[in-house]
């Protein structure tokens, strides 16, 4: 989940304007604490956002530095637990993304040999481990080979030795990429850290390590040098700003008309062949299993609904529970969905699935991500960079991809109308939602009801209310409410009802909760409190979700919550 960066340059660069600016682009991966270290041995850490660190330190120049933005796993949010970690002599510095599963054993071995620890983290064993074996007479490359063999768990690690001029990088499961710039190399958790400097990158595969100085050398886990191909990628070269919006979330909500149009045009042109390949793979497979987590799982539920309407057997399961529910074979098609393309729960399952011979295809936002590289082919949702932790425009574009695949298989829908209808849904409802949020800001419980294809959106709206507004919200099938949960409905309980095309069953469910005193909020394309453009049920999901995005935003704003960086969350979930 953490973000790591390292720069090795032929000429001096600014710690503030280059190293920390690049690290700030990765802050969506974790923002509990942060820190950096330079070739000269200078190290600074702080608790909180990176801007606080930028404002507190004097600028300096160096030719080598590493930085880290933390999402806490082992140990609380403290300055001592912040990265980089270092050895007693402050000659070895390391940053780490991942979890070292056998760190207790390593720590005990090091403590027996006189090493003391200042933090509660698993990551602090790294500099001490290297220090121990350097003093035993081993070279750093040999220690890297030993480390890769002995350490269990996941890691992307950058380590350097004071005044050495080289960064030592190791990767297993956690993402790591090397940007090749004109006068420097940039190591980072993802390409966004350096996309303003270059569009050339080398992507680490699992159990590889590299030594970066004035050039670079890659090795497999056994220490054999390997040749890596430079990849040219397309990604935003400009730093994302809020422009005239108060928060990135609201900006990204309002970018959805443009983002969806960009995707729809791409599916007609640049990604036309990929779309056809998706449809052909579905036709040829006996079973289709979607694999996703969180918001992407809700998009997969819509995919399953659409395929089943077309008479195609399809299932979905949350990735972390895949092994407990489903089995795959060579006749299975697995469709992985992930905004970041690095979701660890999905990645770990896909690695096992590849051994079965099953075909893997994927829907991702970030090009050259691990999930995309594990896939036989992929569609990119082209939502662009999302800074806010909550997925908005990437989720909408995932649904657009589902609709495009269904259309390729015979589903009747006009995709070209969607961007304009998204724009109208926002324009017609934003002020109404803002006023609605005033009356809901103190509510502790909100229920969201849906049926059929609106049920996944009920769950997605509830998720947004949880993660952004900190409201206990439940997205439910309208028909299931009376099988227990209706006992929680009392006078004034807010219930959001998603009613597409005058759905009589949903109208009945709404009347049931109204009879128990609920305060109902009807989202419909015919009549109600919030009206979205008239559309097919499948499209209604997109427009109704706009309401959820806006409502979670404005409730959070009324309560002065950290909208773009909600507590305990990170954008890219790279730990199990």
**224 tagged catalytic:** no
Which three-class secondary structure state does DSSP give residue 118?
A: coil
pLDDT at 122 over 80: yes
Tokens (6 digits) for 384 = 């662009």
pLDDT at 133 over 70: yes
**Alpha helices, DSSP H, located in 326-444:** 344-354, 370-374, 393-408, 418-440
Q: Are 73 and 575 in contact (CB under 8 A)?
A: yes
The residues near 108 (Cβ < 8 Å, ≥ 6 apart) are none
Give mean pLDDT, residues 556-562. 96
Which three-class secondary structure state does DSSP give residue 537?
A: helix
DSSP secondary structure string for all residues of 223-276 = S-EE----EE-----S----TT-SSHHHHHHHTHHHHHHHHHHHHHTTTHHHHH
State the Cα–Cα distance between residues 163 and 65, nearest whole angstrom.
11
Which tens digit of pLDDT belongs to each residue from 447-466? 999 999 999 999 999 999 99
Give mean pLDDT, residues 198-224. 95
Give mean pLDDT, residues 423-435. 97
DSSP-derived secondary structure letter, 454? G
Highest mean pLDDT among 47-56, 91-100, 240-249, 365-374: 91-100
**2 tagged catalytic:** yes
Instruction: Report the run of H or E that residue 315 belongs to, with start and end.
Output: strand 314-318
Which tens digit of pLDDT belongs to each residue from 178-189? 999 999 999 999
Q: Please report the pLDDT score of residue 23 as a whole number.
A: 92
DSSP secondary structure string for all residues of 214-227 = SSEEEEETTS-EE-
Beta strands in 71-152 (DSSP E): 85-86, 92-100
pLDDT at 559 over 70: yes
pLDDT at 575 over 60: no
- As a whole number of Å, the end-to-end CA separation of the chain is 10
Which tens digit of pLDDT belongs to each residue from 212-257? 999 999 999 999 999 999 998 876 655 667 778 999 999 999 999 9
State the Cα–Cα distance between residues 47 and 50, nearest whole angstrom.
9
Which three-class secondary structure state does DSSP give residue 20?
A: helix
Q: Please report the pLDDT score of residue 335 as a whole number.
A: 96
Which tens digit of pLDDT belongs to each residue from 300-317? 999 999 999 999 999 998
* pTM score of the predicted model: 0.84
Give mean pLDDT, residues 345-350. 90
Provide the pLDDT confidence category of residue 570 given band limits of 50, 70 and 90: low
Domains and CATH numbers, the chain: 3-232 (3.60.20.10), 248-413 (3.40.50.10490), 425-576 (3.40.50.10490)
Q: Are 457 and 450 in contact (CB under 8 A)?
A: yes
DSSP-derived secondary structure letter, 16? I
For 268-305, give one letter per residue: b (16+ CB within 10 A) or e: eeebeebbebbbebbeebebbbbbbbbbbbbbbbbbbb
Q: Please report the pLDDT score of residue 368 as a whole number.
A: 85
Which tens digit of pLDDT belongs to each residue from 393-420? 999 999 999 999 999 999 999 999 999 9
Q: Please report the pLDDT score of residue 325 as a whole number.
A: 67
Which tens digit of pLDDT belongs to each residue from 58-97? 999 999 999 999 877 777 889 899 999 999 999 999 999 9
Q: Please report the pLDDT score of residue 109 as a whole number.
A: 96
Judged by average pLDDT, the poorest of 141-155, 278-292, 422-436, 557-571 is 557-571
The residues near 324 (Cβ < 8 Å, ≥ 6 apart) are none
My answer on whether omega of the bond before 84 falls inside 30° of 0, hence cis, is yes
CA-closest candidate to residue 2, choices 131, 94, 103:
94
User: What is the average pLDDT value for the chain, to the nearest integer?
Assistant: 92
Q: Are 95 and 83 in contact (CB under 8 A)?
A: yes
Residue 411 CA, distance from chain mean position: 30
State the Cα–Cα distance between residues 157 and 154, nearest whole angstrom.
10
φ, ψ dihedrals at 571, nearest 5°: -70, -45
Which tens digit of pLDDT belongs to each residue from 311-346? 999 999 898 888 766 678 888 899 999 998 888 889
Give mean pLDDT, residues 504-533. 93
| Torsion angle of the four alpha carbons 267, 339, 436, 515, in this order, in degrees rounded to the nearest 10 | 90
Q: Please report the pLDDT score of residue 239 as a whole number.
A: 60
Asked whether the CA dihedral 145, 150, 156, 157 is positive or negative, the reply is negative
Q: Which of 2, 184, 293, 545 is catalytic?
A: 2
The strands making up 359-364's β-sheet, listed across from edge to edge, are 314-318, 287-292, 332-338, 359-364, 377-380
**Alpha-carbon distance values, 59 to 70, 82, 144 (Å):** 22, 20, 32
Q: Which of 21, 464, 565, 571 is catalytic?
A: 571
Give mean pLDDT, residues 520-537. 93
């Amino acid at each position: 989940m953490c973000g790591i960066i390292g720069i090795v340059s032929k000429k001096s660069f600014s710690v503030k304007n280059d190293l920390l600016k690049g690290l700030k682009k990765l802050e969506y991966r974790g923002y509990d604490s942060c820190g950096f270290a330079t070739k000269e041995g200078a190290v600074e850490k702080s608790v909180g956002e990176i801007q606080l660190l930028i404002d507190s330190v004097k600028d300096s120049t160096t030719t080598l530095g590493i930085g880290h933005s933390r999402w806490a796993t082992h140990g609380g949010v403290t300055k001592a637990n912040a990265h980089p970690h270092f050895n007693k002599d402050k000659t070895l510095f390391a940053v780490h993304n991942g979890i070292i599963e056998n760190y207790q054993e390593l720590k005990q071995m090091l403590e027996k040999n006189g090493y003391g620890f200042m933090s509660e983290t698993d990551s602090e064993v790294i500099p001490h481990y290297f220090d121990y074996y350097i003093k035993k007479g081993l070279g750093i490359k040999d220690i890297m080979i030993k480390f890769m063999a002995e350490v269990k768990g996941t890691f992307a690690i950058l380590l350097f030795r004071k005044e050495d001029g080289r960064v030592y990088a190791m990767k297993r499961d956690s993402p790591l990429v090397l940007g090749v710039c004109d006068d420097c190399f940039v190591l980072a958790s993802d390409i966004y850290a350096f996309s303003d400097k270059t569009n050339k990158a080398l992507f680490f595969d699992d159990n590889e390590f590299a030594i970066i100085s004035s050039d670079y050398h890659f090795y497999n886990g056994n220490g054999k040098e390997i040749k890596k191909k430079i990849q040219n990628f397309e990604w935003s070269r400009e730093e994302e700003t809020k422009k005239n919006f108060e928060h990135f979330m609201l900006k990204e909500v309002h970018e959805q008309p443009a983002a969806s149009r960009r995707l729809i045009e791409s599916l007609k042109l640049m990604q036309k062949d990929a779309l056809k390949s998706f449809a052909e793979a579905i036709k040829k497979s006996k079973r289709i299993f979607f694999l996703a987590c969180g918001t992407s799982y809700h998009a997969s539920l819509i995919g399953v609904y659409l395929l089943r309407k077309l008479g195609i057997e399809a299932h979905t399961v949350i990735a972390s529970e895949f092994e407990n529910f489903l089995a795959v074979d060579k006749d299975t098609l697995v469709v992985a969905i992930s905004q970041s393309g690095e979701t660890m729960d999905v990645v770990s399952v896909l690695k096992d699935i590849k051994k079965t011979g099953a075909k893997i295809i994927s829907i991702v936002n970030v090009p050259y991500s691990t999930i995309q590289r594990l896939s036989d082919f992929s569609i990119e949702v082209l939502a662009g960079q999302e800074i806010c932790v909550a997925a908005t425009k990437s989720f909408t574009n995932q649904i657009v991809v589902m609709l495009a695949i269904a259309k390729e298989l015979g589903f009747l829908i006009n995709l070209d109308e969607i961007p304009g209808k998204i724009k109208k849904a926002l324009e017609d409802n934003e002020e109404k939602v803002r006023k609605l949020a005033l009356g809901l800001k103190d509510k502790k419980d909100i229920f969201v009801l849906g049926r059929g294809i609106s049920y996944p959106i009920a769950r997605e709206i509830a998720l947004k209310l949880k993660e952004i507004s900190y409201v206990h919200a439940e997205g439910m099938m309208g028909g299931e409410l009376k099988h227990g949960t209706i006992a929680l409905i009392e006078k004034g309980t807010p219930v959001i009802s998603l009613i597409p095309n005058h759905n009589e069953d949903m109208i009945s469910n709404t009347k049931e909760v109204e009879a128990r005193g609920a305060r109902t909020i009807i989202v419909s394309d015919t009549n109600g409190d919030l009206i979205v453009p008239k559309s097919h049920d499948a499209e209604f999901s997109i427009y109704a979700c706009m309401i959820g995005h806006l409502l979670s935003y404005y409730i959070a704003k009324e309560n002065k919550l950290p909208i773009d960086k909600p507590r305990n969350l990170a954008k890219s979930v790279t730990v199990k």
